[in-house]
Amino acid sequence: MIDLFWRLLAKLLARPAITAWLIARAQRTPYLHIRSADGREVYMGRWWLFNAYDRETHIGRIRWCPWSIRVHHIMRPDADRDLHDHPWDARTVILRGWYTEQRLLE
């Protein structure tokens, strides 16, 4: 049932007008963009959409809310030697385009 919820939400958010609004809104609150290893190119643009972390405390501005939402724009392949992971649960909704994710076998 929860999977159905996320699929329906992704379908709604990927509608062009909604996607454009979400991206435009998020771009008003930039987060640290990630650069390539040589520093010449932006690998991933990142912006806050909801509940940005305070720069000093690293706590969401809405302290009682455990969730934050970011918009990421992946602009090039990840050339990092280390695998990408998060120490917390995360959900990805692709608003526009695609990407290929490679995972280790468990």
Q: Model's pTM, two decimal places? A: 0.80
Helix ranges restricted to H, 1-106: 2-13, 16-26
- Domain-embedded: residue 20: yes
Q: Which residue has the higher pLDDT, 8 or 37?
A: 8
| Structural domain that includes position 31 | 2-74
21-80 pLDDT, tens digit per residue, is 999 999 999 988 999 888 899 999 999 999 988 888 888 889 898 888 999 999 988 877
Calpha distance 72→101 (Å, rounded): 15
Rounded Cα distance between 76 and 24, Å, is 21
Q: Is residue 91 part of a domain?
A: no
Contact between 71 and 93 under an 8 Å Cβ cutoff? The reply is no
- What is the total count of domains within the chain? 1
Instruction: Report whether pLDDT(106) > 70.
Output: no
Give pLDDT, residue 99: 83
* Band of pLDDT at residue 12, cut at 50, 70 and 90: very high
| pLDDT at residue 98 greater than cutoff 80 | yes
User: What is the spatial distance between Cα 90 and Cα 106, in angstroms, rounded to a whole number?
Assistant: 19
Largest CA distance in the chain: 44
